[in-house]
Structure 1
Amino acid sequence: MPQLLSSKEGSLFRQLVKNYETKQYKKGIKAADQILKKQPNHGDTQAMKALILNSQGQTDEAFALAKTALKNDVKSHICWHVYGILYRSAKNYDEAIKAYKFALRLEPESIQIQRDLATLQIQVRDYNGYIESRKTMVKSRPQIRQNWTALAVAYHLAGDYTNAIDTLEKYEGTLKQPPPRSDLEHSEASIYKNTVLAEKGDIEAALKHLDTIYKTNADRTAVMELRAQYLLQLGKGKEAEEAYRDLVERNNEYRLYYDGLEKSLGLERSNPEHVPKLLELYESYAEKYPRLDAARRIPLDFLSGDKFRTAADSYLRRQLNRGVPSTFANVKALYQDPEKKQVIQDLVLAYENEKQANGSADKPANGDSSDQFHEVVLYFLAQHYNYHLSRDLPKALQYIERTIELSPKFVDYTMTKARIYKHLGNTPKAAEIMNQARELDEKDRYINTKCAKYQLRNNQNEDAIATMSKFTRNEAVGGALGDLHDMQCMWYITEDGEAYQRRGELGLALKRFQAIFDIFGVWEEDQFDFHTFSLRKGQVRAYVDMIRWEDHLREHPFYTRAALSAIKTYVLLHDKPELKKPTANGDESQSAKAKKKAQQEKEAQKAPAKKPALDANGEPKKEDTDPEGVKLRETETPLEDAMKWLGPLLSSSPKSIEAQNAGFEVFIRRRKHLLALKCLRSAHELDPENPALHHQIIRFQKELEALAKAPSDADKPVLEVLKSQFTLIPADTSAAAFNAAFLERHAKSAPHVVAGLHARVVLDPSTKAKSEDEAIKAVVGLETAQLADALAARDALREWGSAAEVLQRWEKEVKARWTEAVL
C-alpha cells in the first residue's frame, strides 16, 4: 500500500522533487532527511534521496538506498521508476527496462515512465518494444502530432514501411484544414513520408506525393533533389533533364547535379561517341557562367588524348594566371591516369619557362605581373613532385625553395616545405619548418593545429600542447589538454597517444586511447537527448539519419586507429611484462612525474580545501585518480583489456584487414585458436596476399604443429576442427615451400619480402643470418621500397634478436638511400 504523508511532509516531498529537478541537491537532501526523521521507512522519499545521491556521484550508496526503498514499498511506482533511472545511469539497460515495466504496471497512466521506457527501448534498438510503447502513447494522447510521428519512425526503423506510411496518413486524416506553409513540423513530416515511400520501393507513388507538396514544402532544395532523383529512376529522361538543369541553376558548382544531368541525357563517359556531346554540354555552361569552375574542371575527367591536352592547358592557364594556390589540389585526382599525369607535368614544366601565360581568357588578377604566374607555377611543381604518384622529393624541395624566395611570408609555401621534409623522413626538420610557418600567421588556427600535429609526429608532446594552448580555454580544468578533452578533439588526443607510444610511455599512451574510447561512449549516450528533442522539434529525417549513423559508430576511422594502437600496446605489455614498470624501459620521466605528483598532493593536503571543479552542467567534475595511466599500464590482464577494443572493432569493421590482423594477434596469445583461425580466414577473403596475413599463417601452422605434439584432452576435439578448417596452406605443400613461393611471387615488393623473410626465420631460426642480409638488401635495393618498409625491416631485425652490428649496417645503408631521414 502507498505510504501516506502528512500535509507538512507532503509539502516537503513536493519540494524535494523540485529540488532534484532544479539540481539543488543540498536542499533536496535536507528535505529528504526531514521527512525520513518523521517517517524513516517512507520508500518514495528514500528513492528520491537515492536519485540525488546518484547525481552527486555516490552510486553505491544510491543503489543501496533504492533497494531499501523497494523493500519498504514494493508497490510504489516511484521506487521502481527511480530504480530504473539508476540502472540506466549505470548503463545496465536490460535491468532498467525491467524496472520501468514494473513501474508501468503499478501506474499505467504515467506519461513520464512511458516516455522513459520508450527512450530506453529505442536506445537499445528494441524496435518491437518501442512500437508497443509508442502505440500506448498515441492512444493516451492522440491529439499530439509528435506521438504519431514517433510511432511512424518506430515502424520505419523496424522495416515496416506500410504501417509507417499508414500512421502518418491517419494523423493527416484527422486535420480539419491543411496546415499553413509556415508549419515547419508539417513540412518536415510530409517530406519524411515521401522518403519512406521511396525506401519502400514505390518510386511512382513517391513522385506523385512529391508533386502534391512541391509548392508548399519549406525545404525546396530537398524536394527538387528528390524529384529529379525519382524522375531519373523512373526513366523519364526529359523531365529529369529539366529537373537537374533547375538544380544546376540553383547551385552550379555542385558535381552531383552534373552527374544526374549526364544520366538524364543518357550520356556515358566511357562511350567515346558520347564525349563530344558531354563536352558541348559543359562548354555551354562555361560560356554561360564565366566564373564557373566545375564546367571547366569536370571535362578533364572524361577527355583523353589531344582533347585532354587542350582542355587541361586551358584550365591550368586560367587557374595559374588567376594565381589560384589550390590548382594542384583541384587536378591531382587526375593523376590516377598515368597518361594524364604526364600531360599535366609536361604542360606545367613548359609554363615554367614562359614569361606570361598566352591564350588565356583571364588577365592576371588585380593587375599582377607575370611574376605571379611564375610563382604559382613553381608552387604547382613543388606540390606535383611531392605527391605520392609523381614523387621526386629533391626536385620538390628545389621548387619550393625557389617559390619561397619569391614570397617568403606566404604561409602555404612554408607549409609545403615542411610536408616535403616529412616525406623525406626528417620529422624534426619538418616540425621546425611548420613552426616557422605558424609564426608567419599566429592568428590562423589551422596552421597552429598543423604545427601541433607535426610536433606530435616528432614526439614533442609538451611543445605541441603549448602550441595548442594558443587557441584553447586554458582556464578550463586540466588546462589546455583538459579543454581539448572537453571539446572531444580526437585528432589531437590520438596523435598525442601515438607519440607517447613511440616514446615508450605506455601509461600515458593508453590514457589517451582510453579517452577516445570514452568519447565514443559519450556519443552513444548522447542519443538519449535526441530521442525526445528531435521529435519535439520535428526534425525527423535528421533523427533517422542520426540513428542509422549511431548504428555504425565504431566504424569511424578515429575509433579504428585508436583501437589498433591500444591493442598493439596491450599485446606489447603481454609479451614484455617488464614494461609495466616505468623504469624497466628507461622511462625516468614518468618516475619523476610520479614523485612530483606525490609532492603536490602532500602540499595540497596542507593547503586550505578548495571547492570542487564543476562541469558544464554545474555538477562536480569526477576526479581523475590515474592521470598518468599507471593503472592502465600495470594491468594484470592486458589481453582481456585489449578485448574491450577488439570486440567492437571486429563487429563494426569486419572488412578491415588491419582489424582481422589485430584480432589474430590477441586470440593466438589467449590460445583461442578457433577465433584466431576465423580472423585468418576473414583476412584471407579480404586480401590473400597481405604481408601481415602471410606471416600470421606461418605462425599459425607452427602453433598447430606444437599443439599436435602433446594435446590435452580438451585440445583434441579443437585440434581436429582446426586441422579440417585450416586450408590456407594446401595439404600437399609444406609451410617452407608455401613461404618460398610467396617470396618468389613478391620479389619486387619490400613489405612482402620482409614478411616472407620473417616467416622463414619462424620456420627455421638457422636462416636468420641469411634473412638479415636479404631484408636489408630488399628495403635498400628495391626501387619501390619506402622508408616505412625500411623501418618495418628494422622491427623484424630487432624481433629476431639481431646483433648490434647488423642494426648498424641497416642504419648505414638506409641512411645512404634516404639521406635526409632521421631514424
Structure 2
Amino acid sequence: MPPAGIPPARALPSKESSLFKEVLHYYEDRQLKKGLKAADSILKKFPNHGETLCMKGLILTHLGRREEGLELVKQGVRLDLTSHICWHVFGLIQKGQKNYEEALKSYTQALRFDKENMNILRDAAHLQTQLRLYDGLVETRHTLLRLRPQLRQNWIGLAVAYHLSGNLAEAKTVLEQFERIVKNVPDYDVEMSEVLLYHIRVLEDLGEYTEALTLLDANAKSRAIIDRVAIQEFRARILSKAGKDEAQQAWQGLIEQNADCYDYYKGYLSSRGVDVDAITDENRDKALQSLHDFSQQFSKASAPLRMALELASGAKFAELVQPYLETRLEKGVPSLFADLKSLYRSPEKRDAIESAVTALLSTLQHPPTVPSPPDTDPTEYIWALYFLAQHYSFLGNHKKAIELLDEAIAHTPTLPELYMFKARVLKRAGDPFGAAKNMDLARTLDLQDRFLNTKAGKYRLRAGLVEGAVELFGLFTKKDAQSPSHDLEDMQSLIYLTEEADAQLRNGNLAMALKKYDAIHKIFDVFEDDQFDFHGYSVRKFTVNIYMNLIQWEDTLRSHPAYVHSAIEASRILVRVYDDPKLASKPSSESELSSAEKKAKKKAKKAEKKVQEEAKKANPNATNEDKGLDVSPPKDEDPDGTKLLQGPDLLERAVKVLKPLTTMAKDNVNVWIAIYDVAIRRKKYLQAVQALNHAHMLNADSPELHIRLVDFKRRWLSLSEKPSEDASLATSSAILKLLPDEVSVEVFNSQYLQHHSSRADAILAAAKVSRTLGAPREEVEASLFNALNADTALAIVAFLSEIRSPREEEFRTACQGKFELSTLFLSPADLAAARKAVVQKDPVAEAVEDKAETIS
C-alpha cells in the first residue's frame, strides 16, 4: 500500500523511491549523467511515473536535448496532474524559454499541491515582479515571511513588494518591525546600512520628513549607515523639502566635496528660495552673487561659472561669457560649443557669444606677411576659428563655416577636429559623400584612434557605403567573429544597428533594413529579460535602492529613442511590403556581402573549429557538460533578411512592435500615424480613427495627418459593408469631428493648402492628396516648384519619380541651384562617381590595410 496521501500512480517501492531522491540530488549537484542513469533505472520498471519522466526531461534539457526533454516533461505532467514536482519542472522549462506568463501558471498549479514550498514560492515571487503583478507579489512575500521569519531577506522582500504596489505605509511598517527584531548587527554592516537608507527613502516618499531626519541622524551618528555621501545627500534633500534652515549648510557641505555637481548648486540655490528653472528678475542677482562666491572659493570648478551663464542676461551675461570663452579657447577645449549650445535658445545670448569670439579672433589675426605678435597664441586662434565655424553652421550659414574651417586647416592641417567638423557641415549641407571623405581624412591623422574610425564608419553609412563602413569597423571588432556587423550586434551597439538599418533603407534594401531594426527590438527584449535575475539577487544582497531605480528604468525601457525610431521604421517597411508583395522578392545574398565580411566568415569558421578541437584535446572525457536551460542564440538562417521580409502576418508583426509606443511614446505624432497605417489595413476602423484623434491632439497641422484624414474618409465612404452598428456609430462620430461631412475632401485639401502655403511639407502633402483625388499631373507638378525647402526637397524628388513626372530633372536642377553644397540632387551617374570617390584607393588607405593586423 502506498503511504497515506500519495496517489497510487505516484507511489514507488522503497528502492525506486531512494533512486528518485538520488535523481533530485544529482540534478541539484549538476551530476547530470548520473541523474539520467538513475532516472532510466526507475523508468525501466515504472515507465509511466510522471515525476521521474519530468526530472529526466529536465536533465535532458540541461544536456542540450531540448525538444526531447520538453516532450518528456509534458508527458510527465499529463500522467500526474497533482504533483507539485511535475508542475515545478514544467515552470522551470517555461521560465528558461522566457515564457514568463505560462511559467507563473505552472508555479501557481504547483503551489496548489504544495503551498509551503519555499523554492516554488521564491520563483513565483520573481515571476510576479517580472510581470508587474504586484498584488499577487505581496501575497507571495507574506507567505514567505510567515514560513521563514528568521530570514532577513523575507522582510525586505515584503517591504519592496508593498513599495512596488504603491502601499508605502505598509512598507514603512514592515521595515520598522524588521529593525525592532534584528539582533547582533556587526559594525560596518553594508546590508543593514542599505536597509536603513531604503527606510529613509520610503519615509521621504511618504512626506514624513521629521521622522526621516531623526532616523537618518541617529543611524549616521552610530555609524549604522556607512555611506557618508549618501547621508549628506539624503539630509540636504530632506531638509530642503521640509523647509529647514539647515538645508543651505547641508548643500554647501556637498559642494565643498564635489564643486562640479550641478545638482548640488541647484539644491543650494533652492534652499535660498531661488528656483533656477524659473528664475525671476527679483532673485537673479542673488543667485549670481552666490555662484560668483563659489567660483572664487573653488577656482578650478566650471559648474558655477556655467550655471551663471544660464541665469545671467543682458550686459551681465556679456561680462561673464567673455572670460569663460577666452579661458577655454586658450586651453583648446574642443567641446566648448557643445557646452554653450543650449544658450542659443536666447537670440540675445547667441549674438553676445558671436560678438565676443569675433572680437577675440580679430585680435589674434594678422596679415600673412606680418610676423605674429609675441603674445599671440596660435592655439587660441585655431580654436576660435573652430568655434565660429560651429556657430555659423548651427545658424545654417554652412558656406561661412567651411571658409573658416579651410582657413584653420591651412594654418594647422594636422588637427583631426577640423576635418571632423567640416564633415559635419557638409553632412548638414546635403553632401554625405564629401562628409564621408573629410571624416576619412580625419581618421588618417591617427589610424589607431577608435573614435575617429568609428565616426568615419558612421559617415560612410550615412553616404550609403555599407561595405566600406563594415571594412572600417572590422579593424576593431573580433577577428574570429562571423563578420564585423555580427560582432557589433553581439555587443548590442544600438547606434551602429540604427545607422546601418537606415543606410540599408536609403539604399532600397528593405530586407536587410528590417533585419537590423528587428535586431534592435531583440536587444530590448534582452534588456527586459536581464532584469529577472535581479529580482532575487537585489533582495538577497540588500541592494534595494538601486534595484528600485532599475525597476523604474525598466518600466520606461521602450521609450528609448532607438526603439521608437526602429519600431516606426520597421512598421513602415512591413506596411509597404503588405501593400506591394513584390518588394519582398529575394535579392542575391552573396552579392550583398562585402569582401571583408566574406573573409571574416571564413576566419570565424576556422577559429570555431580550432576551439572545438582544442577543447576535445584538453578534456577528451568531458561528456557531462550542463548546457543550461536558457535558450541559446539560434543560428542565423536568414543572413540577408529575405525570410523575415517574406514572413507571414506582416501587419500583426507591425502591431507587436508598435504596441509599447502607445504608452511609452504617446506624445510622438509619428507613432500614431504609424499605428493608423497598420490599423486601417487590418480593417480596425475604430482603432484607426482613435490614432488619428491622438495625432490631431498632438499636431493638428501635421502634413502626414492631413494625408491620413483624407485617406480614412475615402476608405470609410467606399466601404460596401460597415462593421458592427456600435463600432460604425463610434467611428462616424469620431471622424466627423476631424473632417465634417459638409466639407468635401477636395475643399478640405484646398483649405489646408491655403492655410499652410508657406510650408514646403504642407505643400507636398496637399500635392499627394490632390494626386490621389485625380488632379492632373501638370497641376500637381506646378505646386511643388514652390516648395524648394531643404527638409522636403528629397521627398519631393521621390514623389515626382513615383508619379513619373517629366519635370523631375528640372526640379533636381532647381535644387542644385538653391543648395550649392549639396550632392543629393546630382544625376545617378554623378552620384555613383561621388560615392566611388569616398573609398577610392590612395596611399593612406594602403597604409591602413598594412597596419590593420597590428591595430587592437
Q: 2:836 corresponds to which residue?
A: none
Which stretch shows the higher mean deviation, 56-65 or 725-734?
56-65
**Between Structure 1 and Structure 2, how many residues are aligned?**
787
Does 2:765 align with 1:755?
yes
CA distance in 2, matches of 1:702, 1:317: 62
Q: 2:508 corresponds to which residue?
A: 504
1:56: Cα distance to partner? 5.3
CA distance in 1, matches of 2:457, 2:13: 62
Q: 2:178 corresponds to which residue?
A: 171
Given the alignment, which residue of 191, 199, 203 partners 2:197?
Answer: 191
Contact 1:127 1:157 in 2 (8 A): yes
Q: 1:470 corresponds to which residue?
A: 475
1:471: Cα distance to partner? 2.4
Q: Deviation per CA, 1:801-822, whole angstroms, max 9, x where unpaired?
A: 132x222112111111122323
- Corresponding residue SS for 1:218: coil
- The TM-score, its normalising length taken from structure 2, stands at 0.86
Q: Deviation per CA, 1:169-204, whole angstroms, max 9, x where unpaired?
A: 111111235x34511111111111111112223233
1:228: Cα distance to partner? 1.8
Contact 1:181 1:187 in 2 (8 A): no
Q: 2:359 corresponds to which residue?
A: 350
- Corresponding residue SS for 1:688: coil
**Residue 21 to residue 620, structure 1, CA distance change in 2 (3 Å):** farther
Q: 2:620 corresponds to which residue?
A: none
Alignment of 1:726-805 (within 5 A): 726=735, 727-762=737-772, 764-779=773-788, 785-786=789-790, 788-799=791-802, 801-803=803-805, 805=806
1:295: Cα distance to partner? 1.9
**Residue 636 to residue 127, structure 1, CA distance change in 2 (3 Å):** closer
Contact 1:13 1:35 in 2 (8 A): no
Given the alignment, which residue of 580, 583, 595 partners 2:584?
Answer: 580
CA distance in 2, matches of 1:544, 1:528: 13
Q: 1:566 corresponds to which residue?
A: 570
Does 2:84 align with 1:77?
yes
1:490: Cα distance to partner? 1.5
CA distance in 2, matches of 1:96, 1:176: 38
**Residue 588 to residue 673, structure 1, CA distance change in 2 (3 Å):** farther
CA distance in 2, matches of 1:775, 1:552: 41
**Residue 369 to residue 182, structure 1, CA distance change in 2 (3 Å):** farther
Amino acid across the alignment from 1:533: Y
Does 2:297 align with 1:288?
yes
Alignment of 1:311-326 (within 5 A): 311-326=320-335
Q: 1:111 corresponds to which residue?
A: 118
CA distance in 1, matches of 2:743, 2:675: 26
- The TM-score, its normalising length taken from structure 1, stands at 0.89
Alignment of 1:494-573 (within 5 A): 494-573=498-577
1:79: Cα distance to partner? 1.3
Alignment of 1:19-168 (within 5 A): 19=27, 22=30, 28-55=35-62, 58-168=65-175
CA distance in 1, matches of 2:741, 2:626: 62
1:307: Cα distance to partner? 1.6
Q: 2:618 corresponds to which residue?
A: none
Contact 1:505 1:590 in 2 (8 A): no
Amino acid across the alignment from 2:758: K
Given the alignment, which residue of 260, 271, 287 partners 1:264?
Answer: 271
- Corresponding residue SS for 2:329: helix
Q: 1:712 corresponds to which residue?
A: 721
Q: 2:313 corresponds to which residue?
A: 304
Q: Deviation per CA, 1:753-802, whole angstroms, max 9, x where unpaired?
A: 2223323333x3224322222213212xxxxx32x311122233344x13
CA distance in 2, matches of 1:134, 1:385: 61
Amino acid across the alignment from 2:200: N
Q: Deviation per CA, 1:489-529, whole angstroms, max 9, x where unpaired?
A: 12112222222222222222222122111111112211221
- Corresponding residue SS for 1:292: coil
Q: 1:723 corresponds to which residue?
A: 732
CA distance in 2, matches of 1:659, 1:503: 24
Q: 1:230 corresponds to which residue?
A: 238
CA distance in 1, matches of 2:792, 2:627: 47
Q: 1:666 corresponds to which residue?
A: 678
Q: 1:629 corresponds to which residue?
A: 641
Contact 2:667 2:698 in 1 (8 A): yes
Contact 2:260 2:301 in 1 (8 A): yes
Q: 2:829 corresponds to which residue?
A: none
1:15: Cα distance to partner? 5.5
Contact 2:22 2:38 in 1 (8 A): no
Q: 1:589 corresponds to which residue?
A: 591
Amino acid across the alignment from 2:73: A
Give the number of the structure with larger relative contact order, counting CA–CA contacts within 8 Å between residues 6 or more apart: 2
Q: 2:227 corresponds to which residue?
A: 219
Alignment of 1:356-395 (within 5 A): 370-387=377-394, 390-395=395-400
Amino acid across the alignment from 2:516: R
- Corresponding residue SS for 2:195: helix
Contact 1:505 1:587 in 2 (8 A): no
Amino acid across the alignment from 1:756: A
CA distance in 1, matches of 2:35, 2:139: 35
1:655: Cα distance to partner? 1.8
Q: 1:208 corresponds to which residue?
A: 214
- Corresponding residue SS for 2:757: coil
CA distance in 2, matches of 1:117, 1:619: 20
CA distance in 2, matches of 1:338, 1:648: 39
Amino acid across the alignment from 1:51: L
**Residue 223 to residue 768, structure 1, CA distance change in 2 (3 Å):** farther
Contact 1:615 1:621 in 2 (8 A): no
1:6: Cα distance to partner? 5.6
Amino acid across the alignment from 1:232: S
Q: 1:435 corresponds to which residue?
A: 440
Contact 1:3 1:73 in 2 (8 A): no
- Corresponding residue SS for 1:802: coil
Q: 1:690 corresponds to which residue?
A: 702
1:688: Cα distance to partner? 1.2
CA distance in 2, matches of 1:423, 1:42: 71
1:651: Cα distance to partner? 3.5
CA distance in 1, matches of 2:99, 2:291: 58
CA distance in 2, matches of 1:725, 1:759: 21
CA distance in 2, matches of 1:25, 1:311: 72
Does 2:26 align with 1:18?
yes
Contact 1:16 1:32 in 2 (8 A): no
Q: 2:656 corresponds to which residue?
A: 644
CA distance in 1, matches of 2:13, 2:436: 70
Amino acid across the alignment from 1:679: A
**Residue 46 to residue 346, structure 1, CA distance change in 2 (3 Å):** same
**Residue 56 to residue 427, structure 1, CA distance change in 2 (3 Å):** farther
- Corresponding residue SS for 2:785: helix
CA distance in 2, matches of 1:521, 1:265: 46
Q: 1:822 corresponds to which residue?
A: 823
CA distance in 2, matches of 1:383, 1:736: 46
Q: 2:619 corresponds to which residue?
A: none
Q: Deviation per CA, 1:311-365, whole angstroms, max 9, x where unpaired?
A: 11121122212222222122111101111111111221122211399xxxxxxxx
CA distance in 1, matches of 2:593, 2:378: 57
- Corresponding residue SS for 2:364: coil
Unpaired runs of 5+ residues, structure 2, are 1-5, 367-373, 616-624, 825-856
**Residue 608 to residue 184, structure 1, CA distance change in 2 (3 Å):** closer
CA RMSD of aligned residues (A): 3.1
Which stretch shows the higher mean deviation, 634-643 or 268-277?
268-277
Identity of aligned residues (%): 36
CA distance in 2, matches of 1:611, 1:718: 65
1:742: Cα distance to partner? 2.4
Which stretch shows the higher mean deviation, 402-411 or 24-33?
24-33
Does 2:430 align with 1:425?
yes
CA distance in 1, matches of 2:676, 2:29: 50
